[in-house]
Structure 1
Amino acid sequence: MIIPEQINELKVVKMSARGAVLSGGEEEILLRDAPETLQIDDTIRVFVEFDDKGKLFAHTNHLFCEDGFDLFEGKEVDLICMEETKLGFSMIINQRYTGLLYHSDVFSHIESGDKMRGYIKTLRSDELIDLCLNKQGYLNRIDDETDIVIKRLKEHNDTLPYNDKSQAEDIYSCFGMSKKAFKRAIGKLYKQKHIRITDKGIEINT
């Protein structure tokens, strides 16, 4: 059975000039962006959706992308383990996206097919998603970012010429983090009244 609007694991039944034909029991569906290595009788995980004419089709672009507006860092999500990799576990997120749960964030036995709740840890600039199994994993990363900002400020007499209007390249050169992470860090420090944000940059409250 093929289920629209989520990831399905389907079998390749034939190849055509338009792509690979996948089977989900009695139904067949076209995979337009079939990998060159795909062969008949292989199984593949694909995302299934409707085209403009209301016909189902499959594609492999089920990583985080521009239509992933429903995801944000710290959000609680449903996870299904696909397989273990060298870095961790490849997970299906909310039946729509895929992400990675690193070995360092796992403290219990996990097998393929296991279902669990988790959190979006990082929406990476390369359109991949890092996961964690508890909220603290996300919060710890934010604490690391704020620590870096405070450290850099103290190294430069408590003031730096960077704020949320600074160029991403300049921010990375100084702090080693993305502009998004920097804005998140200074936002938290500002709310905690540890820093002031001015038109000229940021400075430690004294």
Structure 2
Amino acid sequence: MIELGKYNTLTVLRDTRVGLFLGSNTEAEVLLPTKYVPQDFEIGDTLEVFCYLDHEERPVATTLQPAVTRDNFGALKVLEVNEYGAFMDWGLEKNLLVPYREQPVQMKAGEVHVVYCYLDPKSSRLVGSARLDRFLDNTSISVTAGQQVSLLVFKETPLGYGVVVENRHTGLLFRDQVHQKIRPGDTLTGYVKAIRPDQKLDIVLEPIGFRKLEPAAQRIYEALEAAGGKLALHDKSDPREIQDALKMSKKVFKKGIGILYRERKIEIQPDGICLPGQKISD
């Protein structure tokens, strides 16, 4: 069976002037147009291709990789709006249609929206929907508190940001927990802070239990990592040397390495500082 909207591993059946005909073990066939045919192939080889309907509503295969696949969420840009709806750029020759009925807010050309791609049972066509609540399910939570999860930001709210969690659930990233610029369409890694009694998910961007370092300590630690784990700077170093290397005063530097030492993130040696287990002289 050839599945529209998904990647299929198919066998090369025959070579024609219009391209390769590929098939599955159910005897279904689909055309891979000439422009997508690999340079080297033999009859009987298997190819991984994405299958969808072309402009004439015929199943066709491509080696292009769409920005979203069937039964998944993705952020897409609106290329055109006409009487049928909004046509989104998903990286294929034929754009993905989001009908007006699937737009909670009317889309405009140039905008980016998070949509869900699905196979419409009535038309058997792949379409997109921005009515995400229909496809997000929090009745049976598959994640646990503290778990690292994939996030897709889909809207901004007065409280923060609505996020798709693990391509399945909806969660909320509270504004006061965000210390970076984010916007709808961004993909992030986050953590489940809490699962509420009503099955709502509270999400944060830092691992649970992680205490953010004071800015100077964080800068020193990042400089250490960038330098391979060793810095020939210490509390006897010339202030100008510290300023040139880290853009901070010696007083701030000493405070920062004190924090890192207490957190057991560094070792202080006579000739500098280093990550645990390393030596400046190595």
Larger radius of gyration: 2
For normalisation by structure 2, the TM-score amounts to: 0.37
Q: TM (normalized to structure 1)?
A: 0.48
Q: Select the structure with the greater relative contact order (CA < 8 A; seq sep ≥ 6).
A: 1
